[in-house]
A and B are shown apart, each in its own frame.
Chain A
Amino acid sequence: MTATENAGTPPTDDAPVPDPNAVQITVNGVAHTARKGQLVIEAAADAGVYIPRFCYHERMTPVGKCRMCLVEADSGRGPAVTVSCMVPVMPDMKVETESPMAKRMQEGVLELLLANHPLDCPVCDKGGECPLQDQTMTHGPGESRFVEEKRHYEKPIPISDLVFLDRERCILCDRCTRFADEVAGDALIHFISRGNTTQVMTFPDEPFASYFSGNTVQICPVGALTAKPYRFKARPWDLEEIESTCTTCAVGCRTVVQSSRDELLRSQGVDSDPVNWGWMCDKGRFGFEAVRTERVTEPLVRTAHGLEPTGWNAALRSAVQLIEDGKLAAGPSAVAVIGGARGSNEDAFAWARLAHDVIDTPHVYAQMGDGLPVGMLAMPRATIDDTAAASTIVLLGPDLKEELPVLYLRVRDAVQKRRVRIVEFTPRESGLTSLAWKSAVYEPGGQVEAVRAALADPEIADQLAAGPVVVIAGRSNLAESSGATVQAVQTLLAGVPGATVLPAFRRGNVVGALQVGMRPRPGGLDTRGILQAAADGKIECLVLVGADPLADFPDTDLARRALAGARRIVSVDTHLSASAQHADVVLPAAAFGEKSGTTTNLEGRVTTLGRKVTAAGTSRPDWMIATAIARGLGTDLGFRSVDDVTDAIARMVDGYEGVTRDALADSADGVLSAPPATIAAIDPVEVEVPVRNSYDYRLVVTRKLYDAGVTVSNSPSLAHLAPGQRVHLHPLDVERVGVQPGADVRVSSSRSAAVMRVEADPTVLRGTAWIAFNQPGGNVGDLIDSTAIVTDVRIENL
């Protein structure tokens, strides 16, 4: 057909509509369709051409700092030197990444970058996985013309408790400093000085104490930043690795777990688009140290001399006996099982089958009395991506920075880059308060009132009516029953039809455990109920599956009475926790990195767990232990391998139909599960909050990222980061108590009294007292009465 004939033909209906977002370019002579606004470096990558880079990072704003990505690009005005990480594609742009000119520029940049680089690769942690090494090999000139003396600095200096900086190696790419400012919001490192003496540095005496500092080590394109837990431990080529999911909290960051000689040595973040974007928090990144510290390596049974090591057969026989005796004494409902949130879906499922089908008790629960009722999972659920894409995020839960750190990063990003608005209800200033559009600080118990007031505010009402609203709901105060928060969420959802909920449940696999069955059957008790029953002498056998009520249940006194009142205790745990020390039998459980399986994060996303090292001692995965106990009790659960359990979950658990091994293998980002229909929505709650006596302070107890929990206290690099227990009062209240900040005061509740140091803290509401939970040497749990709606304390000068 000739052109003239063609011109007269009317366009047919099925002619492709030109995509307004398509931009035609060529990369090294090959035609490619890029997206409008796309950076040249990205478009080239899509076309299969890798442009070398140091400062560019897909998850951060490009800054064009290193010039390594220079290419030759012609957008119609002749070839020009172009910084491909800063310049978007233009129609008909011709990009040359390998032309003589481009090569010359790349070689020149590398020669300059190396002018001051010490090239101490043999003693550098990064050697073997170093972008500077790699790109020098692929794009470098091979030889340098520089003969001058290089810059010298003191070899690594600590810039925080976890990170060391070797300024000689730094190529000033601005990745770490950009991350600190833009992603983490902790601009505690910055370029100092200029010219030849420019260096990354902290302010004197203000270390880079960010919860996210480990990410800078991962993204540093040279060995300038190294992490204390990994320094000089291995060379990259000695490492074996497997992809897994961090189960330290419920965000479920994707990670690659690396080991050498059967020892876990490092975790690195993996970029999962719907979840963590490659980031991890330092607790999740460095907490692997706990896997090799102070483990229970063999089964223990109680004898006249205390807990004594024994073999598996004997220990399993005792465990079975304890459960059978318990049933015999007062029927199956005298047995209760708490836990399952720290393991895999498989662990929880096997234990749920054992508890419900074999032991036949209704009293099973995966939460530790520090979350919201399981019925929260029945609310219309949002994913993390839904949350980031909402117009409004309502925070009615814990301080995300402290409890779900990488979710905090995602929400922070949504606010900063997408201008999502946060409406926050919190008992004290949180990590997101400074970014919140509206922040209501309420006195414990006052959240319902605060929500009603917000709904009545025309400006907030308009904002909530304007578009998608996601409520991040969780427990914001351990010294308060969950009732008021549940009522506040219900009030909010009633006022904002169409709002969805992202459950801010905290423990690693708590959503998975609850969904696959570690929850009470009708008539069953929750953890508080179980502990109360045990304290009342009604529990003949208490089984703790990776659960430590003494450390985690907010009301320590009740936990203590429960462990004393339970006639028999079986503990399955990785470490000999405070509660496990009260057990009659302790069965050693395999830990993170020692077992495979799947896990479910707070949005219901199921991802895989990788097994990289041999389990400590003779420890076994929880699911295997459950299977063995079931066999002892006369039932074959039918699980021969972890895959059998994964398959059984897909077959039997409502909401996990799609979560097959094939589906998991096919999807890098995991598969979303749905809450089982049998989880009933929570009936409307109405709490009556008692009036506060004006002499008293209403207690706020929250978690800090670093505490006295198993992960932190057994990770030598992290343990000393726990801030310790203090009571924080508004400065005017400190005055009212009549002491100087830093003095010891007596804090007494109806339960008990404790002496601790007082801190003047203007972020605390007047009339409230804030104390961090489960800190080393702390005892705030003694003050909390879990039956009360709120806990009031008196604070006195000693």
Chain B
Amino acid sequence: MARLNDDNVRLAHEIISRYPRRRSATIPLLHLAQEQDGYLTDDAIRHVAELVGATSAEVLGTATFYEMFKFEPVGTYLINICGTMSCALMGAGELMRHAEQTLGIPVGGTTPDGMFTLEHAECQAACTEAPCLQVNYRHRFRVTPADLDRLVEDLRAGRLGAEIPPHGTLARVRQSIPVESAAGAVTPEQAGAPAWFPAKDPA
């Protein structure tokens, strides 16, 4: 925990080299740190600041602007229930209350076993499918309380492992940037084949 581990430092340098300025790599590196620890620790923020040549305060300022960066431990599954207009009209409030009961935690809390964190979210751009929620940012549509119970059960039993990786698993940062579109301090020839690591096996 804490600072980036050696593998991630190697990857961090790789990512940094693909940008014209070190600082531009701030967000990808924060994702990397979040993948490593599940959330952003102070030490990791400090480490990212060192890597991109910014102050820790600047990186903290950037990180706290984004909802998807967490500063406290988050469960393996982050459930965001939409509470904006369409969903609210279609029973989001009831769904939320039900979720609180099923999981035994208030909104904003994490279950003692570290499996679930429950959050309230604003419109998830799926108003026609209201009420909706996201688990680790994967949509679930027209969710009834019974659907929710089933979802929780499936997640607990590991039945959705292939579809929903644990919270913090990177998608975009690990995507391969074609070498010819890299804008780093190295020329595309020098950069060689992208050395992106395959995403962690969710199991």
A206 & B56 in contact (Cβ 8 Å cutoff) = yes
Residues of B with C-beta under 8 A to A194: 64-65
CB-CB under 8 A from A193, the residues of chain B are 64-65
Answer whether A188 and B57 are a contact pair too, CB < 8 Å, given A203-B45, A204-B42: yes
Q: How far is the CA of A603 from the CA of B46 in the complex (A)?
A: 41
If the complex has contacts A187-B54, A187-B55, are A203 and B64 also in contact, measured as CB distance less than 8 A?
no
Within the complex, what minimum Cβ distance (angstroms) separates B33 from chain A?
15
Instruction: Mark each residue of chain A from 167 to 206: 1 if its CB lies under 8 Å from any CB of chain B, else 0.
Output: 0000000000000010000111111111000000111111
- Contact partners of A181 in chain B: CB under 8 A: 58
B60 contacts A190, C-beta separation under 8 Å: yes
| Interface-centre pick from A181, A192, A203 (highest chain B CB count, 10 A) | A203
Encode contact with A along B38-69: 1 for CB under 8 Å, 0 otherwise: 00001001100000001111101100110000
In the assembled complex, the CB of A179 is this many whole angstroms from the nearest CB of chain B, namely 14
Q: Is the CB of B65 within 8 A of A203?
A: no
**Cβ contact within 8 Å between B57 and A202:** yes
Q: How far is the CA of A193 from the CA of B197 in the complex (A)?
A: 31
- State which residues 98-148 of B face A: CB under 8 Å: none
Interface size class of B (residues with CB under 8 A): 10 to 19
Whether A201 contacts B57 by the Cβ 8 Å rule is yes
B119 to chain A, nearest CB (A): 16
List CB contacts (< 8 Å) of B7-58 with chain A: 42, 45-46, 54-58
- Report A-chain residues with C-beta under 8 Å of the C-beta of B45: 203
- On chain B, the residues within 8 Å of A191 by CB distance are 61
B residues near A186, Cβ cutoff 8 Å: 55
CB contacts (< 8 Å) of B46 on chain A: these are 203
- A190: chain B residues at CB < 8 Å are 55, 57-58, 60-61
Distance in Å: Cβ of A212 to nearest Cβ of chain B = 15
Chain A positions within 8 Å of B42 at CB level:
203-205
CA distance A554 to B36 in the complex (A): 52
When A203-B45, A204-B42 are in contact, do A187 and B57 touch as well, CB less than 8 Å?
yes
- Chain B residue with the shortest CB-CB distance to A434: B53
User: Which residues of A lie under 8 Å from residue B56 when comparing CB positions?
Assistant: 203, 206
Report Cα–Cα, A113/B93, bound state, in Å: 33
Q: How far is the CA of A525 from the CA of B45 in the complex (A)?
A: 57
**Chain A contact residue count (CB 8 A cutoff):** 16
Contact B64 A189 (CB under 8 A): no
The CA-CA distance from A670 to B91 in the complex, in Å, is 74
| Interfacial chain A residues near B64, Cβ < 8 Å | 192-194
Closest Cβ neighbor of B61 among chain A residues: A190
> Mask for B175-194, Cβ within 8 A of A = 1, else 0?
00000000000000000000
**Residue on A with the closest CB to B62?**
A190
Assembled-state Cα–Cα distance A206/B50 (Å): 14
Q: Which residues of A contact B57 (CB under 8 A)?
A: 187-190, 192, 201-203, 206
Task: Please measure, in the bound complex, the distance between the C-alpha atom of A186 and the C-alpha atom of B56, giving whole angstroms.
Answer: 11
Which of B55, B57, B60, B64 is packed against the most chain A CB atoms within 10 Å? B57
- Kindly list chain A residues whose C-beta atoms are within 8 Å of the C-beta of B55: 186-188, 190, 203, 206
Q: Which residue of A lies closest to B54 (CB)?
A: A187
From 200 to 223 in chain A, residues with beta carbon under 8 angstroms from any chain B beta carbon are 201-206
Name which residue of chain B comes closest to A193, CB basis.
Answer: B64
Q: Once the chains are docked, how many angstroms separate the CA of A191 from the CA of B59?
A: 10
A236 to chain B, nearest CB (A): 31
CA A571 – CA B54 in complex, angstroms?
49
**A187 & B65 in contact (Cβ 8 Å cutoff):** no
Flag B75-115 by CB within 8 Å of A: 1 or 0 each. 00000000000000000000000000000000000000000
Docked pose: A202 CA to B55 CA in angstroms: 10
Chain B positions within 8 Å of A201 at CB level: 57, 60-61
- Complex Cα–Cα for A189 and B64 (A): 14
In the bound assembly, the distance between CA atoms of A501 and B22 in angstroms comes to 36
Contacts of A202 in B (CB 8 A): 57
Nearest Cβ on chain A to B161's Cβ, whole angstroms: 34
Q: Which residue of A lies closest to B53 (CB)?
A: A434
Residues of A within 8 A of B58 (CB): 181, 187, 190
- Beta-carbon contact of A203 and B54 below 8 Å: no
Cα distance A204–B60 in the bound complex, in angstroms: 10
Q: In chain A, what residue has the closest Cβ to B59?
A: A203
| Cα(A201)–Cα(B56), bound, Å | 11
- A188 and B61 CA atoms in complex are apart in Å by 10
Q: Bound state CA distance, A186 and B58, in angstroms?
A: 10
Complex: A540 Cα to B57 Cα, angstroms: 59
CA of A188 to CA of B57, assembled, Å: 5
Residues of B within 8 A of A187 (CB): 54-55, 57-58
**Bound-state Cα–Cα, A202 to B42, Å:** 12
- What's the Cα separation between A264 and B98 when bound, in Å? 65
> How far is the CB of B48 from the nearest CB of chain A, in Å?
12
Once bound together, how far apart are the Cα atoms of A205 and B54, in whole Å? 16
Between A187, A190, A193, A201, the greatest number of chain B beta carbons within 10 A of the residue's beta carbon is seen for A190
Q: From A189, which residue of chain B is reached at the shortest CB distance?
A: B57
User: From residue A356, how far is it (CB to closest CB) to chain B in Å?
Assistant: 53
Q: How far is the CA of A202 from the CA of B61 in the complex (A)?
A: 9
Closest residue of A by beta carbon distance from B46 = A203
Among residues of B, the one whose C-beta sits closest to the C-beta of A204 is B42
Closest CB in chain A relative to B65 CB, distance in Å = 5
| A159: min CB distance to chain B, Å | 10
A204 to B46, alpha carbons, bound, how many Å? 10
> How far, in Å, is B64 (CB) from chain A's closest CB?
5
Minimum CB distance partner of B49 in chain A: A203
Given contacts A203-B45, A204-B42, contact A192 B54 (CB under 8 A): no
Q: How far is the CB of A202 from chain B (nearest CB, A)?
A: 6
Shortest Cβ gap from B31 to chain A (Å): 18
Q: How far is the CB of A435 from chain B (nearest CB, A)?
A: 13
Query: What's the nearest-Cβ distance from chain B to residue A206, in Å?
Result: 6
Residues on A with C-beta less than 8 A from B54 are 187
> Smallest distance from the beta carbon of A182 to chain B beta carbons, Å?
12
What residues of chain A lie closer than 8 Å to B65, measured between beta carbons? 193-194
In the docked arrangement, what's the CA distance between A206 and B57, Å? 8
- 1/0 per residue, CB under 8 A from B, across A126-144: the answer is 0000000000000000000
| Docked CA distance A201–B64 (Å) | 11
Contacts of A206 in B (CB 8 A): 55-57
How many angstroms between the C-alpha atoms of A192 and B42 in the bound complex?
Answer: 14
Complex interface: chain B residues within 8 A of A192 (CB): 57, 60-61, 64
- Shortest CB-to-CB span from B2 to chain A, Å, is 14
Bound-state Cα–Cα, A556 to B155, Å: 74
Q: How far apart are B54's CB and chain A's nearest CB, in angstroms?
A: 7
Could you tell me the distance between the alpha carbons of A203 and B48 in the complex, rounded to whole angstroms? 13
CB-contacts of A555-610 with B (<8 A)? none
CB distance from B69 to the nearest CB of A (A): 11
Complex CA–CA separation, A188 to B56 (angstroms): 7
CA–CA, A201 and B46, complex, Å: 15
Q: In the assembled complex, how far is the CB of residue A540 from the closest CB belonging to chain B, in whole angstroms? A: 57
Smallest distance from the beta carbon of B151 to chain A beta carbons, Å?
A: 30
Which residues on the B side are within 8 Å of A189 (C-beta)?
57
A81 to B45, CA, bound (A): 40
Q: Which residue of A lies closest to B56 (CB)?
A: A203
| A187 nearest CB neighbor, chain B only | B55
Q: How far is the CB of A209 from chain B (nearest CB, A)?
A: 12
Residue of B nearest to A195 (CB): B65
Minimum CB distance partner of A194 in chain B = B65
Complex: how many Å from CA A204 to CA B43?
Answer: 10
Q: How far is the CA of A473 from the CA of B64 in the complex (A)?
A: 45
11 contacts across the A-B interface (CB closer than 8 A): A187-B54, A187-B55, A190-B55, A190-B60, A192-B64, A193-B64, A193-B65, A203-B56, A203-B57, A206-B55, A206-B56
Which B residues lie at the A interface, using CB under 8 A? 42, 45-46, 54-58, 60-61, 64-65
New contact pairs (20) apart from A201-B57, A201-B61, CB-CB < 8 Å: A181-B58, A187-B54, A187-B55, A187-B57, A187-B58, A188-B55, A190-B57, A190-B60, A191-B61, A192-B64, A193-B64, A194-B64, A202-B57, A203-B42, A203-B46, A204-B42, A205-B42, A206-B55, A206-B56, A206-B57
Q: What 4 A-B pairs come out closest when comparing CB atoms?
A: A190-B61, A203-B56, A190-B57, A203-B57
Interface residues of A (CB under 8 A from B): 181, 186-194, 201-206
